[in-house]
Structure 1
Amino acid sequence: MLDRATIDALFPPDLPDPGHWEQRYPPRQLPEGAKLTRLGPSPTGFVHVGVIYVAMTDRDVAHRSGGRFLVRVEDTDQSREVEGALAQFDRAFAYFGTTPDEDDSTGAYGPYRQSQRSDIYLSYARELLREGKAYLCFATAEEVADIRQRQQEQKVPTGYYGRWALWRDADQADVQAKLAAGAPYVVRFRSPGRIGARAEFTDAIRGPLSAEDNYNDVVVLKSSSNAVRLPTYHFAHAVDDHLMRVNLVIRGEEWLSSVPMHLQLFTALGFEPPTYAHIALLMKQIPGGKRKLSKRKDPEASVDHYIQAGYPAEAVLYYLRGLANGRLAEMPLADALAAPINLAELGGAGPLVDLVKLEDISADHIATLSGQQILDALRPWAAEFDPELASVLAKEPEQALSALAVEREGVANPRKDLRKWSDFRGAYGFFFPALFTLVGPDDERLRGLPTDLVRTFAQQFVDGYQDLTDPQEWFNEIRDLAAKHGFAPNAKEYKRNPDAYPGSIREASQVFRVALTGSTRSPDLFSVARALGRDEVLRRVGALTR
Structure 2
Amino acid sequence: MLDRAVIDALFPADLPEPEHWEQRYPARALPDGAKVTRFGPSPTGFVHIGGIYVATIDRDIATHSGGSYLVRVEDTDQSREVEGALAQFARAFDYFDLHPDEADDQGDYGPYHQSARETIYLTYVRELLRAGKAYLCFATKDELADISARQQAVKLPTGYYGSWAIWRDATPEDVAAKLAEGTPYVVRFRAPDDAVGQRTSFVDAIRGELEHEANRNDTVILKSSDTSPRLPTYHFAHAVDDHLMRVNLVIRGEEWISSVPLHQQLFTALDFEPVTYAHIAPLMKQIPGGKRKLSKRKDPEAGVDFYIEAGYPSAAILYYLRGLANGRLAEVPLTDALATPIDLAQCGVAGPLVDLVKLEDISADHIATLSGEEVYDAVRAWAAVYDQELSSVLAESRELALRAIAVERGGDNPRKDLRKWSDFRAAYGFFFSQLFTPLTGAADERLAAVGLTPTVASAFAQDFVASYQQLATQPEWFDQIRQLTVKHGFAPSPKEFKKNPDAYPGSLREASQLVRVALTGSTRSPDLHAITQALGEDEVLRRLRVL
Alignment partners' CA distance in 2, 1:494 and 1:305 = 48
> How big is the alpha-carbon RMSD for the aligned residues of Structure 1 and Structure 2?
1.0
Alignment partners' CA distance in 2, 1:426 and 1:268 = 61
Alignment partners' CA distance in 2, 1:129 and 1:114 = 21
2:96 maps to: 96
Alignment partners' CA distance in 2, 1:412 and 1:167 = 75
1:352 maps to: 353
1:467 to 460, 467, 470: 470
Displacement of 1:401 in angstroms is 1.1
Which secondary structure state, in structure 1, belongs to the residue aligned with residue 229 of structure 2?
A: coil
| Partner AA of 1:471 in structure 2 | Q
Alignment partners' CA distance in 2, 1:481 and 1:329 = 51
| Partner AA of 1:525 in structure 2 | L
TM-score, L = length of structure 2: 0.98
1:212 maps to: 213
Q: How many residues align?
A: 543
Alignment partners' CA distance in 2, 1:6 and 1:386 = 63
Moved more, 279-288 or 101-110: 101-110
2:530 maps to: 527
Moved more, 449-458 or 131-140: 449-458
Alignment partners' CA distance in 1, 2:143 and 2:85 = 36
| Partner AA of 2:292 in structure 1 | R
Displacement of 1:340 in angstroms is 0.8
2:168 maps to: 168
Alignment partners' CA distance in 1, 2:291 and 2:197 = 33
The equivalences for 1:62-141 within 5 A come to 62-141=62-141
Alignment partners' CA distance in 1, 2:58 and 2:104 = 19
1:253 paired to 2:291: no
| Partner AA of 2:466 in structure 1 | D
1:385 maps to: 386
Deviations 1:457-482 (A, max 9, x none): 22221111111112112111112222
Structure 2 gaps, min length 5: none
2:196 maps to: 195
Displacement of 1:536 in angstroms is 0.3
Which secondary structure state, in structure 2, belongs to the residue aligned with residue 434 of structure 1?
A: coil
Deviations 1:250-303 (A, max 9, x none): 000000000000010001011001100000000011111110000011111111
Alignment partners' CA distance in 1, 2:183 and 2:340 = 58
Which secondary structure state, in structure 1, belongs to the residue aligned with residue 79 of structure 2?
A: helix
1:493 to 496, 509, 513: 496
Alignment partners' CA distance in 2, 1:194 and 1:88 = 41
1:510 paired to 2:513: yes
| Partner AA of 1:162 in structure 2 | G
Moved more, 507-516 or 252-261: 507-516
| Partner AA of 2:392 in structure 1 | S
Structure 1 gaps, min length 5: none
Alignment partners' CA distance in 2, 1:460 and 1:47 = 58
Alignment partners' CA distance in 2, 1:390 and 1:474 = 33
1:337 paired to 2:347: no
Which secondary structure state, in structure 2, belongs to the residue aligned with residue 515 of structure 1?
A: helix
Question: Contact 2:464–2:484 (CA<8 Å) still a contact in 1?
Answer: yes
Alignment partners' CA distance in 1, 2:161 and 2:503 = 92
1:542 paired to 2:539: no
Which secondary structure state, in structure 1, belongs to the residue aligned with residue 37 of structure 2?
A: strand
Displacement of 1:542 in angstroms is 0.9
Alignment partners' CA distance in 1, 2:113 and 2:85 = 13
Displacement of 1:326 in angstroms is 0.6
| Partner AA of 1:37 in structure 2 | T
Displacement of 1:423 in angstroms is 0.7
1:2 maps to: 2
The equivalences for 1:94-493 within 5 A come to 94-192=94-192, 193-409=194-410, 411-440=411-440, 441-447=442-448, 448-493=451-496
Displacement of 1:452 in angstroms is 2.7
Change (3 A) 1:542 1:252: same
Alignment partners' CA distance in 2, 1:282 and 1:241 = 25
- Runs of 4+ in structure 1 off by over 6 angstroms are none
| Partner AA of 2:496 in structure 1 | E
Alignment partners' CA distance in 1, 2:412 and 2:221 = 63
Alignment partners' CA distance in 2, 1:107 and 1:179 = 40
Alignment partners' CA distance in 2, 1:106 and 1:293 = 33
| Partner AA of 1:217 in structure 2 | D
Displacement of 1:483 in angstroms is 2.2
Displacement of 1:451 in angstroms is 2.1
Displacement of 1:379 in angstroms is 1.5
Alignment partners' CA distance in 2, 1:42 and 1:106 = 19
Alignment partners' CA distance in 2, 1:240 and 1:33 = 21
| Partner AA of 1:482 in structure 2 | T
| Partner AA of 1:101 in structure 2 | D
| Partner AA of 2:141 in structure 1 | A
Moved more, 186-195 or 134-143: 186-195
Which secondary structure state, in structure 2, belongs to the residue aligned with residue 316 of structure 1?
A: helix
Alignment partners' CA distance in 2, 1:368 and 1:328 = 18
Question: Contact 2:105–2:111 (CA<8 Å) still a contact in 1?
Answer: no
Alignment partners' CA distance in 2, 1:114 and 1:412 = 53
| Partner AA of 1:345 in structure 2 | Q
| Partner AA of 2:494 in structure 1 | A
Moved more, 389-398 or 325-334: 389-398
Displacement of 1:31 in angstroms is 1.0
Seq. identity, %: 72
Deviations 1:416-464 (A, max 9, x none): 1011111111111111111111012212232353223222222221111
Deviations 1:298-328 (A, max 9, x none): 1111111111111111110111000000111
Alignment partners' CA distance in 1, 2:143 and 2:207 = 39
